[in-house]
Chains A and B, each alone.
Chain A
Amino acid sequence: MSCQPAIRRQRPFTLVLAMLIAVVGIAGGLSSPALAATIGVDAPAETTVGETVSVSATISDADGPIVGADVAVTRLAAIGGTSGFVELDRGVTDESGVVEFEFVQNADSSETAQMRIEYDGPDGIEAEEFEMVVRPGPQQRSGSAGLDMGFVNVGWLFVVLALVWGVLILAVYQLVAISRANDGPGQPLSLAPYAMVTFVLLTAVGMFVVIARQPTTHANLTPNESFNRSPDAIVGEEYDYLGYRDENTPRPDDLGGQALYVQNGCAGCHGPSGGGAMAGGELTDATMSDREEVVEAIRRGPKGMPTYGGEVLTDVEIDRMIEYVLDANGD
């Protein structure tokens, strides 16, 4: 009972102390728009995935540009439930207070990148935030998709297959030996054992050819390869509904190149606008330099590509399609 008044007396004191601290804090905070430095940012508003982006920042204070300041450019990134600003590049300002950054745009194209210039000044880190629109590039991810172990490669598949087929052929070859050791009357079709060895050998060689011809995609998504992938559809981007071609209703003569491109299923393999995807290669000025060859490819269908005869696409329509693709993706 005797200690209660003591507590009562204590409360106002604590309150006063807390208020005091708060007032001092706020006052200190207000007085330090001490944004000792001004950060100016010069950055492109739009970037493309995979592109090397140049950003420059100017650091200055009331006395003019700050020379030799430690500045970094960072981007807000999230992984596994945690997020934070990731440093992309770091530099030191020159005599006019300017620092140049360069980094590869790795942000997801479905979002706007939240960027920040961080200046490590005498009063702690000062930051200036800005945004950067990220457009889809020819590919969304570069580099290997898995654990890259140099000694684990397709070579081993060849070694194992060569071993297996080698033993098998050796076993089949014994039939030739048996046939040659025939010391009795002759046999019909004495070439049969040779034919069998040849057959097995050809099957083996065929398997090697099939594998060797095939692309290595999963671990080798580097640009400028024929099997480079880009997203089939680009998230966040809207495409006009162009309808599906109905064989029974005649197509209007004046369909645009994009409509023709989408309706005939070109996008399924070559990407929404010829950027390359799945099986089909990228369609650019370089890959379509020979107009006759392109028309021939559409008509004849190389490497498993569907064929489009004259009754499906007229020459004029093919021209329109090519114009569209070159317009959308050429360069």
Chain B
Amino acid sequence: MGEVTESPKVHPGTGESAWDDRLDEHVIAPVKRAGRGYVLWLVGLSAMIVWGVFAYSTQVRDGLYVTGMRDRISWGLYISSFVFFIGISHAGTLISAILRVSNASWRTPITRIAESITVVALVTGGLMVIVDMGKPLRLYQMFINGNWQSPLMWDMFAITIYLTASVTYLLVPMVPDLALFRDRLDGRVPRFQWWIYAVFSFGWRGNTAQKKSLTKSISLLAVLIIPIAVSVHTVVSWIFAMTLRVSWNSTIFGFFFVTGAIFSGIAALILVLAVVRRRFHLQEYITSVHFEYLGYLLLTAAMVMLYSNASEYITKGFHASEDDLFAFRELFLTEFAPLYWFYFFGGLVFPILIVAFKRTRNVIGLSIASAFVLVAMFIERYFIVVAGLRVPLMPYEPASYAPTWVEWSVFGAGLALFLLLLTLFTKFFPVLAVWEMKEEHEARMARVPTEHEAVEQ
């Protein structure tokens, strides 16, 4: 199970342990090193973004006509990816806030990455909506001529609050670690970079008053951010459910979307953790135990997803109207059937099997399962949006939709932006919650060893 078992040696008298020093070095290491592969990676991502910006510029010039969206199917890849990214952003909330509130101590090494995924995914998702507006100036119209009784307005409020709260929630627990970077990296990194650490560590010295304020802030945020996150994805689902559309006319949509968000968020976290741990050699801290626990969470979420599917489709199918039958036919048998059944078997059943068997419940197995989940959840959002809009409201021929190169390019740029921001974050900021890990380690060491632990030693 555990690949590396820690065996800390305490410096007699100092209280500082070799374990602490090694942790510091491990966290600081990425900041100083930059390989060739890393540069290539950055260049590749930037190229994708530049290409996406070019594609977007044609859209700004010629209008949304350059996309595959028309009057009848008026949402497509953009809105699918918006929902997808907002969904991924739930990684941070669930893992970090819920586990923090419930005092699950195993979370400490993975919280920072989860929280950074939240912020980065939110930024990307928010941009996708602005892209979907056609001309970005329409955002300004939301402020000036909006109507608060519109679900689109609610969405804007919810995402604004969520973004503000999650940036704060990323920053506040990072303050002591930024102070560590400030102290350790003075003169070892470019001046401006050091200045950033110095500014955003807010003069942290680790004294009692500061610790008290920090704890207070984190407690407030952890409790606050859970309802905010739930509300955000509920409101995202309401954009659909409050419209008069056959496939979206569902009371379970809020719950369904929140579950889907948490599900894809966990998958994203597992995948990012696997990469970060390998790249920065953090196997000592992010152990296979973490993956196992995350795997269980993934399993639970997949089960709830299966249940939601059953609840949604069986309820509707039992008293199916002609419109429901049209929606079911295209989803289960015709146009969207390959997508749906990939989502069902590849995205829900397959991950459950991976986690269920001990042989496959390891880092590689879970990474593969997570990749499947992410693809499947993107597909799910796609068919919710497009298949939902395809059901005719009047007796006309169903419309069709296929994303154009502009949409694919912008979507690619969105993915690239997500990865780029994440890469830059892990490069320049502490990827582990060092101070929390130290505190926990200290607490573990200070405790009188139980019989069980004594035997182990």
A residues with a Cβ closer than 8 A to B are 154, 157, 161, 164-165, 167-168, 170-172, 174-175, 177-179, 181-184, 186-190, 192-193, 200, 203, 207, 210-211, 214-218, 279, 303-304
Contact = CB atoms under 8 A, between A and B. Distances in A.
Given A167-B220, A171-B217, A177-B213, A215 B147 contact: yes
B404 to A, nearest CB: 27
A200 B201 CA distance: 18
A183 B146 CA distance: 48
A178 B148 contact: no
B224 A193 contact: no
A217 B165 contact: no
Contacts of A190: 203
Nearest to B194: A188
Interface in B200-254: 200-205, 207, 209-210, 213-214, 216-217, 220-221, 223-224, 228
Interface in B147-172: 147-149, 153, 157, 160-161, 164-165, 168, 171-172
A172 to B, nearest CB: 6
Contacts of B172: 171, 174-175
B200 to A, nearest CB: 7
Nearest to B168: A172
Contact of B175 (A178, A183, A217): A178
A35 B158 CA distance: 69
B197 to A, nearest CB: 10
A192 B200 contact: yes
Closest 10 CB pairs of A and B: A182-B203, A174-B217, A181-B209, A177-B213, A187-B203, A171-B220, A174-B213, A179-B202, A184-B205, A171-B217
A218 B149 contact: yes
B281 to A, nearest CB: 31
A178 B202 contact: yes
A179 B224 contact: no
B145 interface: yes
Given A178-B210, A279-B145, A187 B202 contact: yes
A188 B224 contact: no
Given A178-B203, A181-B213, A171 B164 contact: no
B372 to A, nearest CB: 36
Contacts of A188: 195, 198-199
Given A154-B148, A181-B207, 19 more contacts: A164-B228, A165-B161, A167-B223, A168-B221, A170-B220, A172-B168, A174-B172, A174-B220, A175-B171, A175-B175, A175-B217, A177-B209, A178-B202, A178-B203, A179-B203, A182-B205, A215-B147, A216-B149, A304-B141
8 contacts: A165-B161, A168-B164, A168-B165, A181-B207, A200-B164, A207-B157, A211-B148, A279-B145
A30 to B, nearest CB: 51
A190 B199 CA distance: 7
A200 B214 CA distance: 18
B199 A161 contact: no
A193 B172 CA distance: 11
Interface of B: 141, 143-149, 153, 157, 160-161, 164-165, 168, 171-172, 175, 195, 198-205, 207, 209-210, 213-214, 216-217, 220-221, 223-224, 228
B429 to A, nearest CB: 16
A202 to B, nearest CB: 11
Nearest to A177: B213
A270 B377 CA distance: 44
Nearest to B205: A184
Q: Name which of B144, B164, B201, B221 has the most chain A CB atoms within 10 A of its CB.
A: B164
A211 B146 CA distance: 8
Contact of A192 (B144, B148, B199, B220): B199
Nearest to A167: B224
Q: Name which of A184, A187, A279 has the most chain B CB atoms within 10 A of its CB.
A: A187
A182 B204 contact: yes
A269 to B, nearest CB: 11
Nearest to A175: B202
Q: Name which of B202, B205, B209, B214 has the most chain A CB atoms within 10 A of its CB.
A: B202
Contacts of B205: 181-184
B138 to A, nearest CB: 10
A218 B242 CA distance: 14
User: What is the predominant secondary structure among interface residues of chain A facing chain B?
Assistant: helix
Contacts of A170: 220
Contacts of A184: 203, 205
A188 B144 CA distance: 38
A28 B25 CA distance: 112
Contacts of B157: 161, 207, 211
B161 A164 contact: yes
Contact of A171 (B143, B146, B203, B221): B221
Contacts of A175: 171-172, 175, 202, 213, 217
A186 B228 CA distance: 36
A117 B141 CA distance: 52
Contacts of B202: 175, 178-179, 182, 187, 192-193
Nearest to A192: B199
Contacts of B199: 187-189, 192
Given A171-B220, A188-B195, A217 B147 contact: yes
A181 B143 contact: no
Nearest to A154: B148
Contacts of A216: 149
Contacts of A172: 168, 217
Nearest to A206: B143
B239 to A, nearest CB: 17
Nearest to B149: A218
A189 B160 CA distance: 26
B160 A207 contact: yes
Contacts of B144: 303-304
Contacts of A207: 157, 160-161
Contacts of B165: 168
A200 B143 CA distance: 17
A203 B200 CA distance: 20
Contacts of B161: 161, 164-165, 168, 207
A303 B144 CA distance: 7
A161 B74 CA distance: 31
Nearest to B228: A164
Contacts of A164: 161, 224, 228
A168 B171 CA distance: 13
B71 to A, nearest CB: 16
Contact of B224 (A161, A171, A203, A210): A171
B224 A214 contact: no
Nearest to B143: A210
Contacts of B214: 174, 178
B181 to A, nearest CB: 13
A183 B153 CA distance: 45
Contacts of B148: 154, 157, 210-211, 214
